[in-house]
Chains A and B, each alone.
Chain A
């Protein structure tokens, strides 16, 4: 695990790339995001969801 703290105004190209309009915002592995400061258990839950592979698509309905 790596954790970068990025001062948004000093790195405008990163702020643009990740659509930072409010802080704090945490970007996880480029695509996941957590906006705002969450309570620890909620943050961990969001982090686990962002790192976990997406669930396989639901099978097509029968019929």
Chain B
């Protein structure tokens, strides 16, 4: 059964058609290769994440889902700086370092949609003052934003 209902799908298709301006890859790392994991809580969350990403891929020809396994493709995961799963790198014409760890459910689904749009534009929707301040940062910054689905 689809996770998104017809109304949401139609709305998101339209939004993506208008706002996803270049190709975006959803590079998904599951904990293990498909089918090898024993069903359990972690397995369910991974499958749910995979399903959500699959449906997001279906919203636009510009969005492509790549499915990988952290267990068997550690080297590739390392190239994306990923050592935990389920993890999704949201990659546009460049890798802007945007990662989503866990299941983008509930309110966080909107976060995923917005990230796809921003990455396609290669530009975050922030003010010029913010842009200047970030360009002048004295060092590298690694942000980990902790969220819950509700």
Contacts of B126 in A (CB 8 A): 40
Contacts of B86 in A (CB 8 A): 10
Specify the main secondary structure of chain A where it touches its partner.
mixed
Contact of A51 among B111, B137, B149 (CB under 8 A): B137
Contacts of A26 in B (CB 8 A): 143-146
Contact A51 B146 (CB under 8 A): no
A38 to B79, alpha carbons, bound, how many Å?
32
Given A11-B101, A48-B133, A48-B137, A5 and B148 contact (CB-CB distance below 8 Å): no
B-contact bits for A1-20, CB 8 A (1 contact / 0 none): 11111111111001100101
Contact A44 B134 (CB under 8 A): yes
Contacts of A23 in B (CB 8 A): 146-148
The smallest beta-carbon distance between A30 and chain B, in angstroms, is 8
Interface residues of B in 127-150 (CB under 8 A from A): 127, 129-130, 133-134, 137-149
Contact of B101 among A10, A20, A24, A53 (CB under 8 A): A10
Size band of the A side of the interface? 20 to 34
The smallest beta-carbon distance between B96 and chain A, in angstroms, is 8
Contact A27 B130 (CB under 8 A): no
Beta-carbon nearest neighbor of A52 in chain B: B138
Contact of A5 among B108, B139, B142 (CB under 8 A): B108
Given A3-B97, A3-B99, A4-B101, A51 and B138 contact (CB-CB distance below 8 Å): yes
Contact A7 B103 (CB under 8 A): yes
Interface residues of B in 46-82 (CB under 8 A from A): 81
B positions within 8 Å CB-CB of A: 45, 81, 84, 86, 97-104, 108, 111, 115, 126-127, 129-130, 133-134, 137-149
